[in-house]
Structure 1
Amino acid sequence: MDDRTMRAVLFDRFGGPEVLYVGRVPRPEPAPGEVLVRVRAFSVNGGELAARSGRLRLFTGRKFPQRVGLDFTGEVAALGAGATGVAVGDRVWGVVGRTGFGSAAEYVTVRTERIGRVPDGLDLVEAAALPVATTAITALRDKARLRPGERLLVRGAAGGVGNAAVQLGRAYGAEVTALARAANLDFVRTLGAHHATDHRSVSPSDLGLFDVVLDTAGTDLRAFRRLLTPGGRMVTIAFDLTRLAASLGYIAASAVHGRGRVRFFSGNPKRALFDDLAREVAEGRLRPAVDTCFPLEETAAAHRALAAGGVRGKYVVRVD
């Protein structure tokens, strides 16, 4: 096989998971300040499903083939000119950044500030469930400034960011209430949730008041914002793609109307945050939660499973 090419997950038109296939593309070379990473695993994220279906075509464009894959784990295979802080052979995790996708492949090039070292003893396939946890760290520690003894509500508690938020909320000393599907309530309890509630069997108004609300769904923001105590903080990492303008407009208006501003952000981790992630894992406050591991050829099945809902942690794809 030509070592100038590599396998990658591609799609030639917008659509459902069936549009994904494994093809061959040129193997990238690291530019100055970049490293080449031999990918061992990546996880499937909701943003990729939206991009694949065409709902993000304003950002991704219409030129095909397009790629999927946002995060990854692997080993550094080569250094570009001026790349510092890492060495060939280092076990790393990282993200490709906000400019696109592409980690669903045998190799990926990435700037050195977009990666960090995976803690010793952590399997690289399991570790692929954790880069998204940097979003939970940012949301709780930096945006909400969660304090010991506060009441925390995590919406979407069984998902990729949600399960990490439950673990970290407990570790940070908060009283954690987890909203998830009925089938996942025992799972979120094992993560450290003090209270676990089926989100389909309760109205938000019946949940009580919270100092911090972390939302991973992006819908019904008004109802959950009403649950804030005086001085409470709400952070969302999503918006309603079916009502995009209204959703973004409400988030913006929340800064001047009603109780508490809704803080929205999109995860964009760099090395310092990956170092924080490694420390949380090494000190036992955070562990990976892998629902199912798929081979690269079954990436479409992983997309289909995530779209169906009910994930416990992350769907991870192994690159052999």
Structure 2
Amino acid sequence: MFEILGLDDQVESVYHIMLRNPDWGMAELATHFGKSETWISAALARLAELSLAEKSPEAGDHWHTISPALGLASILARKEAELARHQQEVELSRGAVSALMAQYSALNVGSPRLESEFYTDLGEVRMKIEQLAREARHEVLAFAPGGVQPKEVLDNSRPLDEAVLGRGISMRTVYLESIRNDAASVGYARWLTDLGGQVRTVSTLPLRMIVVDRSTAMLPLDPAEARAGAFVVTSEGVITPLVALFERVWQDATPLGAPQRRDSYGLTSQEREVLHLLGLGLTDDGVARHLGISLRTVRRIMSELMTRMKVKSRFQAGLIAGALGWVADAETIKAPR
């Protein structure tokens, strides 16, 4: 109970017994606790340090307790003095840090800095997204991985997107191709395009990202876990390559409403990515999570590819896909797992 005052449970129990049995000496205390007299002596020494007990001058091995009202009050007074001294040290340190920061800012006027803000609470992340949208003046670029979103999430996004597009802001968004198989997602994307937004899809995206006016970007703290939070950065050295990445992905993406593009082998980017990921050793479930599609869709794609190759096993499909140049490591494709 009094650990914060320096009184642990064992020493406190000795104190309580001494209060109830003021005539007990060292031997009685040792018998009661089943401890050696050395252990009892250490406990009594600690009580003496805390001003809760003192040795009787007339009896060599007898100790008597000091009233809790006096002893604990003395401990509290010492703790309060320590706290006041610590608070004073903190205030002095804060003043020193503020002075140092002011000196640093004065010496580094005009030097480039990596400006960033971190948000680990999802509510704060949403509020920051709304703020960035309200402050946008020219353009919003976004990568939206994660696949199909619940209809209520899409509906909640409509007022903000409508307000941005209503101000004449250019909005370009890249989704995963898996949204093409979901009616609610397709309806939302078409609603965006009707308002002036532009939507394209790709088989895979590197990360979730929002870039506003090519001057501010929001990125995930952990690309593999969206709930970990996000950070906002304004450094030109970071923004420039992010915009270049977006433009490269946008160029290769397929506009919503257009049929999925096929390469010279007749493969869509999604089909090629499924083969590639399976070739790397991912399970069907791992491929589904990576591409934001269902496990059933992964297996349907593989079944259709095997039908086109006229084979009955994934091992045969891997050999033929490798021979055709569809993937580099297709021979490692294994049965569904």
TMscore range, shorter length: under 0.3
- Structure number with higher helix proportion: 2
Q: TM-score scaled to structure 2, two decimals?
A: 0.23
Q: TM-score scaled to structure 1, two decimals?
A: 0.24
- Structure number with higher strand proportion: 1
Q: Which has the higher contact order (CA 8 A, sep 6+)?
A: 1
Give the structure with higher Rg (CA): 2
